[in-house]
Amino acid sequence: MLLTIFVSNKINMAHLFSPLKIKNIELKNRIVVSPMCEYSSEDGFANDWHLVHLGSRAVGGAALIITEAAAVSPEGRISFGDLGIYKDEHIAKLKQITDFAHAHGAHIGTQLAHAGRKASHQQPWLGGKQIPSDQPNGWKSYAPSAIAFTESEEPPLELDKAGIEKIKTDFKTAAARALAAGFDVIELHGAHGYLLHEFLSPASNKRTDEYGGSFENRIRFLLEVIESVQEVWPAENPLFVRISATEWTEGTWTANDSVALAIILKDKGIDVVDCSTGGNIAGVKIALKPGYQVEFAEKVKKESGILTGAVGLITKPHQADEIIQEGEADLIFIAREMLRDPYFPLRAAHELGHEVTWPVQYERAKW
Ligand SMILES: Cc1cc2nc3c(=O)[nH]c(=O)nc-3n(C[C@H](O)[C@H](O)[C@H](O)COP(=O)(O)O)c2cc1C
């Protein structure tokens, strides 16, 4: 009897290649292509770069691919090369990309974003600096408070009520376009010091109205954006939120705040909290090591009961598998290793001894 229980526990044990049903989708494994800005758009339009970049990760066997941050308005772009979802004309190319991903067995989501005070920057390969608002390709940025990210940068304009309402509508319209473009998942970018995160954090939010001060007030904007998105995004479609689970600085946003938020998000119908960290306080040193953010995915998962994604220096199949097996997270988001190897999931399946379907065109290369 004991042996049977032991054996069946083993059989039921989740691993990197076990499927996961989230609302109306079933992910074929736990590997997610983490959002990665390509800074390769003109006026927000996706192009063949995005088709090939995202498409090859679909061919490579990831269960879910999340596009780079897609700006909900032109002024919400980090750079003038960002992907956007602020025009109906953006939908057609995005639809081609989602169709391709679906045809190759992957689900695909988009990350809806507003860069807040981190808008109006050069592409990283041009130096990544802020472009002053009076220079070509520069514009005024907006934030909860008129505090620049670094002292050398032009401060953002503090959002007034009308500005807040406009952004809520921008997220909603963008969500409707995401649906029309065939995305399966929306992830709201509430991390890395961009607008939604700026509202959450006492380091960047010094407002004295109902959007600032207490924890309840600082999370209000995110919750209202979620409600706005939910007006058009069907309840049966998965909705994720990426957060910076800690800012690695005393007296700011903490891991306990993240748990408290996740409990509320779960109640609001959010399916997954994708746990990244940092990005809102300049100069903070993070001690990088393999899986350095997994502990936050684990804490948020265990203390709130919501599904979580782990991200950050997860590069090895066994490492990723162990995180799932140990129940530390439900999904593994992989960014840079996916750039090095779009076929990471196929390689991981081989190394871990799981049989997965290869694209028929590539079958002769199967290990
Ligand atoms: C080129 C590049 C672009 C990125 N763009 C985004 C983005 O658009 N949205 C986001 O939430 N994170 C972005 N990130 C962060 C990644 O999604 C990920 O959280 C981070 O790189 C850590 O994971 P890794 O160690 O697997 O690379 C980006 C990372 C890279 C390398």
Please check whether residue 193 lies inside any domain of the structure. Answer: yes
Please report whether residue 57 resides in a domain: yes
CB 53 near ligand 1, within 6 Å: no
Q: Is 81 left (phi over 0), alpha (psi -120 to 50) or beta?
A: alpha
Distance in angstroms (rounded) separating the CA atoms of residues 93 and 45: 8
Catalytic center residues: 194
Per residue in 44-55, pLDDT tens? 999 999 999 999
State residue 2's pLDDT score: 46
- Kindly give the distance from the C-alpha atom of residue 12 to the centroid of ligand 1, in angstroms, as a whole number: 32
Pocket test for ligand 1, best of 37, 66, 319, 344 (most atoms within 8 A of CB): 37
Q: How far apart are CA 45 and CA 28, in angstroms?
A: 29
pLDDT for position 72: 99
CATH number, domain containing residue 320: 3.20.20.70
pLDDT of residue 95: 99
DSSP-assigned states of every residue in 14-52:
--TTS-EEETTEEESSSEEE--------BTTB--HHHHH
Taking only the tens place, the pLDDT of each residue in 76-126 is: 999 999 999 999 999 999 999 999 999 999 999 999 999 999 999 999 999
**Contact status, residue 310 vs residue 322, Cβ threshold 8 Å:** no
Atom 12 of ligand 1, nearest CA residue: 35
Nearest atom, ligand 1, residue 313 CA = 25
> Which is nearest to 113 in space by CA: 164, 156, 77?
77
Answer yes or no: is 364 within a domain: no
The pLDDT, as a whole number, for residue 12 is 47
Specify the pLDDT at position 13.
80
Taking alpha carbons only, the member of 362, 333, 360, 361 closest to residue 347 is: 362
Number of domains in the chain: 1
Mean pLDDT of the chain: 96
Nearest partner of 297 among 267, 277, 322, judged by Cα: 277
The rounded Å distance from CA 286 to ligand 1 centre is: 15
pLDDT for 259 equals 98
Residue 30 lies in a domain: yes
Q: What share of the chain is helix, strand, coil (3-state, %, to 5)?
A: 40, 15, 45
- Whether 3 is covered by a domain: the verdict is no
Range of the domain at 39: 18-355
In a domain, 79, yes or no: yes
For the Cβ of 31 lying below 6 angstroms from any atom of ligand 1, the answer is no
Report yes or no on 360 lying in a domain. Answer: no
> For each of the chain's 367 residues, which pLDDT tens digit applies?
444 444 444 444 889 999 999 999 999 999 999 999 999 999 999 999 999 999 999 999 999 999 999 999 999 999 999 999 999 999 999 999 999 999 999 999 999 999 999 999 999 999 999 999 999 999 999 999 999 999 999 999 999 999 999 999 999 999 999 999 999 999 999 999 999 999 999 999 999 999 999 999 999 999 999 999 999 999 999 999 999 999 999 999 999 999 999 999 999 999 999 999 999 999 999 999 999 999 999 999 999 999 999 999 999 999 999 999 999 999 999 999 999 999 999 999 999 999 999 999 999 999 8
Indicate the top mutation candidate among 33, 36, 185, 196 to test ligand 1's pocket, ranked by most ligand atoms within 8 A of CB: 36
In a domain, 229, yes or no: yes
Per-residue pLDDT of 19-30, as tens digits, reads: 999 999 999 999
Separation of 174 CA from ligand 1 center, angstroms?
21
